[in-house]
Amino acid sequence: MYSIYQKINQQIEMVIKNAIDKAVENGQLVEIDLPQIMIEKPREEAFGDFSTNIAMQIVKQAKKAPRQIAEVIVQNINKEGTFINKVSVAGPGFINFYLDNEWLYETLSLIDERKEKYGEVNIGKGSKVMVEFVSANPTGPLHMGNARGGALGDCIASVLEKSGYDVTREFYVNDAGNQMEKFGISLEARYLQQLNGEESIEFPEDGYQGEDIIDHAKDYINEYGSALLQKTSEERRKALIDYALPKNIKRIHDGLVRYGIYYDCWFKESSLYASEIDETMNILKERGYLVEKEGAIWLDGEKAGLEKDEVLIRQNGFPTYMAADIAYHRNKFLKRGFDTVINLWGADHHGHVARMKAAMEAIGVSKDRLHIVLFQLVNLYQNGEIRKMSKRSGRAISLDDLLDEVGVDAARFFFNMKTSGSHLDFDMDLAVEQSNNNPVFYVQYAHARICNIIKKLQEENIERISSDEVNLTLLVQPEELNLIKRLAAYPEEITMSAQTLEPSRLTHYVMNVAADFHSFYNACRVRGEQEDLLQARLFLVYCTKTVIKNVLDLLRIDAPERM
């Protein structure tokens, strides 16, 4: 058993089913084809700990008023052997369950038993999932979009790991195709400009404008001089790409490591060019998805269910990005056997979603196995204004600049505070503020306070006792019970985050744990209390520490012992 909620849901479901069966036997209800019994937490505390709307759902079948059905069910409920203490009917026909505090004390025992595993669930049942994220173009530095996608993708992967999936994190290195051509042309132009003067060659219109391209040219010249001037353009570009590309990839890799992101695999687009793109094209051809026209090869839009045809092989014989991407996804699903693939893309790529899903069907993979998480772009705010440039370099703010200014913890937390679909305003002043306004500090402070209580007690030679010895029934204050209720919900939060692919639930959750703890801290003392109560509260404090630490570890954010 991983979650008290699971147990309670089972109990309530059983109790309801039995009650309805009994009511049918008594002739109080007609035979009913029972729908899934929904159990939820009422918003108002007065409505009990859990409730169900089952009476309202079977109105049509039972041919009675919902309240009447609810009354009948309640009359026939046998709550023996469950946590249920009281049942009532309320509102339009809700059945509310009031639980004995025993479920909360059992929650604490469960946390104590599961420790760092508390919160883990097994909805994935070991199925293989790939999360592909960031996959930044290796033609330049990481930007804010990559920063958000990185925090989001990494945490989605972590949430899935905690949910029983076999997760692989992957970075797709776009080291081939048209993009590399442009990279080479841009490097060459900067190289020639450095040696022959700005005016010697016009910088190509669609080249990469970034300052880092100039830096690469300068660095190359410093190391290897001007020998490339004597070479052909093709040789020159190749030499410059061979020089700059590994540097860029390493820089991206190191930046992401600093950010706390570790990939299982760096997959190179160029590796698809040996045979896999051809193989994929053959499959599409055999399945009748290709049309030839205007000297190019297209994906048949009509057959694939798309608005228009899409070029896969250009007139010049080179595959498009999409052709490579289809081959890449064929590799993910059919060569490496992932059951599910999750891709994180900036919202500006949303037009590609339908195309890729259609392409999956075209190669015989159900489109439902491909999930695309789109995230909106980021605005950095400072002093109430949008910040575009780094003060130090005068260039667009890179991930490294952001980490220099606000640190890893704040960046990872802030990027996971909003759902992926919402636009994100990143308040850089708030991110470095050391106050309760800053959610990162608020949560970390709760953890540090807990550690301090433990440390202070240890200085008095007071250590916690085991779950067998402690008398948890002494925990009856509202602040204590609220805190435990919050801790009980953690496995459910993981489940929901995994199902919705929204780790932002967890930042909100851990903020609420911290808030409930701070309230407890102000209302109840641990040190100096009579021994039984002290031990019960200390047990609660340890459990709270475990949960906060587990969430922060999942988010890969530091949980400091002192602040």
Partner RNA sequence: GUGCCUGUAGCUCAGCAGGAUAGAGCAACGGCCUUCUAAGCCGUGGGUCAGGGGUUCGAAUCCCUUCAGGCACGCCA
Q: Give the footprint of RNA on residues 426-485 (CB under 7 A).
A: 434-437, 439, 441-442, 445, 448-449, 451-453, 456
With contact defined as beta carbons under 8 Å apart, do 71 and 28 qualify? no
Binding footprint of RNA, residue count (CB under 7 A):
86
DSSP H or E segment with residue 473: none
Report helix, strand or coil for 173.
Answer: strand
Phi, psi of 310 (to 5 degrees): -125, 130
| Binding-site string for RNA from residue 190 to residue 219, where x marks contact by CB under 7 A and - marks none | ----------------x-------------
> CA 374, CA 419: separation in Å to the nearest integer?
10
Stretch of 11-19, 72-80, 365-373, 503-511 contacting RNA, by CB under 7 A? 503-511
Positions 49 through 88 that interact with RNA (CB under 7 A): 51, 53, 56-57, 59, 66
> CA 494, CA 162: separation in Å to the nearest integer?
7
**Residue 131 or residue 424: which is nearer to RNA going by CB?**
424
Q: Is 250 in the site for RNA (CB under 7 A)?
A: no
Q: Which one of 242, 423, 458, 476 is in contact with RNA (CB under 7 A)?
A: 423
With contact defined as beta carbons under 8 Å apart, do 373 and 380 qualify? no
Sign of the CA dihedral with 117 first, then 120, 122, and 127 last: negative
Closest separation in Å from C-beta 173 to RNA: 10
Closest separation in Å from C-beta 223 to RNA: 28
Q: Is 349 in the site for RNA (CB under 7 A)?
A: yes
**Residue 220 or residue 544: which is nearer to RNA going by CB?**
544
Stretch of 219-227, 258-266, 360-368, 502-510 contacting RNA, by CB under 7 A? 502-510
Sequence-distant (≥ 6) Cβ neighbours of residue 475 within 8 angstroms = 101, 104, 105, 481, 484, 536, 537, 540
Q: Is 563 in the site for RNA (CB under 7 A)?
A: yes
The closest of 265, 368, 367, 269 to 327, measured between CA atoms, is 269
> CA 267, CA 244: separation in Å to the nearest integer?
18
**Residue 64 or residue 418: which is nearer to RNA going by CB?**
418
Q: Which one of 329, 418, 485, 549 is in contact with RNA (CB under 7 A)?
A: 418
DSSP H or E segment with residue 285: helix 276-286
Q: Which one of 154, 212, 493, 502 is in contact with RNA (CB under 7 A)?
A: 502
Phi, psi of 191 (to 5 degrees): -60, -50
Rg (CA), the chain: 29
Closest separation in Å from C-beta 65 to RNA: 9
What tokens does 329 get? 């996804």
The CA-based angle 510-511-512, given to 5 degrees, is 85
| Binding-site string for RNA from residue 292 to residue 331, where x marks contact by CB under 7 A and - marks none | --xxx----------xx--x--xxx---xxx---------
The CA-based angle 422-426-430, given to 5 degrees, is 135
Q: Is 344 in the site for RNA (CB under 7 A)?
A: no
Q: Which one of 9, 331, 390, 419 is in contact with RNA (CB under 7 A)?
A: 419
> CA 534, CA 548: separation in Å to the nearest integer?
21
**Residue 162 or residue 228: which is nearer to RNA going by CB?**
162
Positions 18 through 47 that interact with RNA (CB under 7 A): 42-44, 46-47
Closest separation in Å from C-beta 403 to RNA: 19
* Integer angstrom CA distances of residue 490 from 4, 499, 526, 547, 557: 10, 14, 24, 8, 17
Q: Which one of 302, 348, 404, 463 is in contact with RNA (CB under 7 A)?
A: 348
Closest separation in Å from C-beta 541 to RNA: 8
The closest of 479, 538, 555 to 513, measured between CA atoms, is 479
Closest separation in Å from C-beta 139 to RNA: 9
Q: Is 388 in the site for RNA (CB under 7 A)?
A: no
Closest separation in Å from C-beta 483 to RNA: 11
Helices 504-523 and 531-555 cross at an angle (nearest 10°) of 160
| Binding-site string for RNA from residue 137 to residue 176, where x marks contact by CB under 7 A and - marks none | x------------------------------------x--
